[in-house]
Structure 1
C-alpha cells in the first residue's frame, strides 16, 4: 500500500547574506533551538514560511528580471512579491537586519510595525533567486523554500548589530565560507553553500536556478531558467 504524505507544504523564503564577497567572503547564520520542530540545533540561514499578510505588502522596489520569471516557473505565477516580502520580514525578525529603502510607512500592518519604525520600506530589488528545495515527504514540516542571495552592502542597518533580533536563532554570526563546513548544518544548506561558493565572485544572476523537487512520487533535480509564463 502506498503511504500518502498529508503534511501541508508551505511556501517559504530563506535569505543568504554575503559579506566581503571579493576578499574574505562570509555569510550570516544562526542556530535553531534544541526544541524547534524543524531542524533543531542546526545552523541555518534566516528565513521562514510565507504568511497570509505577505501577499499584500507594498514593496518599495520589485524583484528584478530574471528572478521574477524564475520564481513563477513550476509554481504559482504571482507568488514572487509575497516570497520577497517574507524574505525581508524574516531577515528582520530573526537578525534585526534591514533590507529596506528609506521612507515613511504609516499604515504598516502589525507584523511590520517594528520594521516601519526604523524609517524604511521593504526593498526587494537586491534579492537574487539562487536555489529552490521542496522538503522530502515524511518530515514533520514541509516547505517549498526559495533561497535568495543578497550582498551585505545592500543592508541598511549595522551589520554587526543583532540587538533587534528575535530569539528564534541564537549564536548569530558572520561565518567565513572557508570555515562553514565545521558547523552542524542541514544537508540542503550544505548543497546551497556549495552553489554559492562556486560563484561567490560573480554578482550576476546564475544561468539557471537549481530545484530539488522532492514530491510524493519521485525526487527530481530541475533547473529553473525563467520561461515566460505565456509558454
Structure 2
C-alpha cells in the first residue's frame, strides 16, 4: 500500500456524529520549509499542544485556516505563474493567493518565522497587524505547490488543505519569535528523523512527497479527495 493510499484509508480527526450531515471542509494551507545549510536537508516541524481536540501531541507543518483578511493583505511579490495557474485551475480567482498568504501568516504566528521581504513597518488591524509591524511583506514568489488534501466526509472536523513548500533561504531570518502560538515545540529536523516523529498520516505522506519533489520538481502533485464512495488519490 502506498503512503497516499494509507492516508485515504485511515482519515484522522473526530468522527462525524451518526446521522449528521457532512461538515463542509474549511479552506486551509500549510507550509513545508526546507533548510539546506547543513550536511542533509532539514524541514521545519512543530508539535501540537496536548490540549487540542484535533491531532494533539502530533508533529505537523505550520499552517492553518484562511481568514477574510488574507484576501486583502499586502505582499512584496506575486505567486509564480505556474503556482498561480495551479490555484486558478481549481479555485475562484484570488483564493489561491489568499491561501498562500494564510500559510505565510500562520507560519509567523505558530513558528515565529517570516517568509517575507523587508519593508517599512505599517499599521494594520486584525491578524496581519503583528506581521506587518515587523517591517515585512509576504514573499509569495517563494512558494511552490506540493499537494492538496480534503478530509473525507465521515470525519467531523474537515479541511481542504493546500500543502506549499519554500526554501529556508527565503526567510528574513532563521531567528524566530519565541512565542510560537499553537505549536508547543518547533525544530528543524532531517527528513528521516521527521518520519520517526509521531505524525498525522497526511503529514507523513507529505514529508515523503517533499523529499521526492526535491529530487524531481516536475513530478505530478497529489490531490486526495473523497469520490464515488472512497478516497481516490488523483493529481492537480
Do the aligned residues in 2 keep the contact of 1:21 with 1:201 (CA within 8 Å)?
A: no
> What is the deviation of 1:175?
0.9
More helix by share: 2
Question: Matched residue pairs, number?
Answer: 219
| Residue 222 of structure 2 corresponds to residue 210 of structure 1 | yes
Structure 2 equivalent of residue 69 of structure 1: 85
Do the aligned residues in 1 keep the contact of 2:70 with 2:102 (CA within 8 Å)?
A: yes
Unpaired segments ≥5 residues, structure 1: 225-231
> Whole-Å Cα distance in 2 between the matches of residues 110 and 141 of structure 1?
25
Unpaired segments ≥5 residues, structure 2: 1-17
Structure 2 equivalent of residue 163 of structure 1: 178
Question: Over the residues paired in the alignment, what is the CA RMSD in angstroms?
Answer: 2.1
| Residue 151 of structure 2 corresponds to residue 135 of structure 1 | yes
Do the aligned residues in 1 keep the contact of 2:101 with 2:140 (CA within 8 Å)?
A: yes
> Whole-Å Cα distance in 1 between the matches of residues 29 and 121 of structure 2?
23
Question: When the two structures are superposed, what TM-score results if normalisation uses the length of structure 1?
Answer: 0.87
> Whole-Å Cα distance in 1 between the matches of residues 63 and 150 of structure 2?
15
| Residue 191 of structure 2 corresponds to residue 177 of structure 1 | yes
Q: Aligned to 1:7, which of 5, 23, 31?
A: 23
> Whole-Å Cα distance in 1 between the matches of residues 230 and 90 of structure 2?
16
Do the aligned residues in 2 keep the contact of 1:4 with 1:216 (CA within 8 Å)?
A: no
Q: Which segments of structure 1 move beyond 4 Å, counting only runs of 4 or more?
A: none
| Residue 235 of structure 2 corresponds to residue 223 of structure 1 | yes
Q: 1:215 to 1:12 in 2, by over 3 A?
A: farther
Question: When the two structures are superposed, what TM-score results if normalisation uses the length of structure 2?
Answer: 0.85
> Whole-Å Cα distance in 1 between the matches of residues 43 and 193 of structure 2?
10
